[in-house]
Structures are given as C-alpha cells and as structure tokens.
A and B are shown apart, each in its own frame.
Chain A
Amino acid sequence: DAKTTQPNSMESNEEEPVHLPCNHSTISGTDYIHWYRQLPSQGPEYVIHGLTSNVNNRMASLAIAEDRKSSTLILHRATLRDAAVYYCIRCSGNTPLVFGKGTRLSVIA
C-alpha cells in the first residue's frame, strides 16, 4: 500500500513549468514526503523531500499543503530529459520506501 495517490500520466510542453500532484490524506505528523523519478532503463533517483515547509533544490521545488494532505512537485522548466516516472512516497521512521505506480511524465518538444 503506497498510501499516496498520483495521476497515472501527465504531459507537458518543453520549457514550460510542470506541476505534479500527490494526495496523501492519511499522512501522520512525522511522515516525510519524498519524490523520486525513474528515467527509462535506469534506477530511481532522488528528487526532493520535505516535512512541512516548501522546499527548493537544483532539480525541483516541493510545495506541501498547509494540512499536509497533499503536495505538488514543481519542475520549473521541463526539458526532454525530465521525461520519466515520478513517484511520490510517504516515508516514516526507518521503514523502507513503498513505491506506487507513480506518474508518467511526457515532455513534448
């Protein structure tokens, strides 16, 4: 049970921002939200994670709702290299990550 809900697929035009949503309505107070992505024929790679506050790094931004029941991964300018499956994962304590099916992002040139 991945305990998060994501759209199966999304599409974006190149160089436009992309907002990938994730619902985690049963999240507990100590769960972190992690995002990973998996490019074709590669292992997953870490993108970003957060607890309560919005987070930014060189790859993306993570916006977490005030009630923490949802979050949005923001890619500021999508490139063709960003085409991948994006996984939103709740992470608590020392339990291993549980992957759902994620969102397949297609980027159109």
Chain B
Amino acid sequence: NAGVTQTPKFRVLKTGQSMTLLCAQDMNHEYMYWYRQDPGMGLRLIHYSVGEGTTAKGEVPDGYNVSRLKKQNFLLGLESAAPSQTSVYFCASSLGGAYNEQFFGPGTRLTVL
C-alpha cells in the first residue's frame, strides 16, 4: 500500500495564480482532511470530508475550495493564491471515529510570491 500520497511535493506560485493539490489514499478510508502548517506552528484544519461527495469547513477555510468526487481522492484548490497561503499542506485520511488513527501524507510545500 502506498498509504497517503500528495501531488505535487513543491510548488511556487505568483500572487493571483490558481492551483490544485491532489491527495490520494489507497486504504479505503471514508474520512479525508486537509491541514496547513506554518513555520513553528501546529497543524490547522482547512477542510475535511466524511465520505465521497461530502465536504465540510475546518478552522481556516477561507481562500480554499475542496472536492471529493471519488472516495480515494481529495482535492484542495486555491483560486487566487495570496502570499498568506505560503505554507506546508498536509493531507490525511482515516476510518473515522475517535478510536482510529489518522494517516498523513508527506506534505506539499507551497510558496506564493
């Protein structure tokens, strides 16, 4: 199993450009999550999904959109990138429930100039 994979690993954008980050998992997990991590900080939840076709807002959703068209994929979109969105983005997945752990991807380092 590949676990949770993220594409791309690195990206540099100019202010105003758009891009989509892809997260894929092969563990048949219902729940998927997008977090961002700024230097020296813990992870903050952007959006999450509790199943195919569903999405919900997390702590810091502004400026991002998500889609979960297939169970194994969770896409994070930036329509008009801003320097404040420079961060490392982590995707995670789980079976759900307080007794199941989350599995994290390796992260995407995004810089917005």
1/0 per residue B33-67: CB within 8 Å of A? 10100000111110010100000001100000000
Closest to A90 in B: B98
Question: B74 contacts the other chain (Cβ, under 8 Å)?
Answer: no
Closest to A102 in B: B42
Chain A residues positioned under 8 Å from B103 (CB to CB) = 46
Q: How far is the CB of B37 from chain A (nearest CB, A)?
A: 8
> A85 vs B62: C-alpha distance in the bound complex, in angstroms?
27
A49 touches B42 (CB 8 A): no
1/0 per residue A29-67: CB within 8 Å of B? 011101010000011111001010000000000000000
A96 touches B107 (CB 8 A): no
Instruction: Indicate whether A49 sits within 8 Å of B104 (C-beta atoms), given known contacts A94-B50, A101-B41.
Output: no
Q: How far is the CB of A97 from chain B (nearest CB, A)?
A: 6
B106 touches A96 (CB 8 A): no
B99 touches A44 (CB 8 A): no
Question: B102 contacts the other chain (Cβ, under 8 Å)?
Answer: yes
* 9 A-B pairs with the lowest CB-CB distances in the bound complex, closest first: A43-B104, A99-B42, A46-B101, A99-B43, A32-B98, A91-B98, A44-B104, A101-B42, A43-B90
28 residue pairs bridging A and B, Cβ less than 8 Å apart: A31-B98, A32-B98, A32-B99, A36-B102, A43-B90, A43-B104, A43-B106, A44-B90, A44-B92, A44-B102, A46-B101, A46-B102, A46-B103, A91-B98, A92-B98, A93-B97, A93-B98, A94-B97, A95-B98, A96-B45, A97-B33, A97-B45, A97-B102, A98-B45, A99-B35, A99-B43, A99-B44, A100-B42
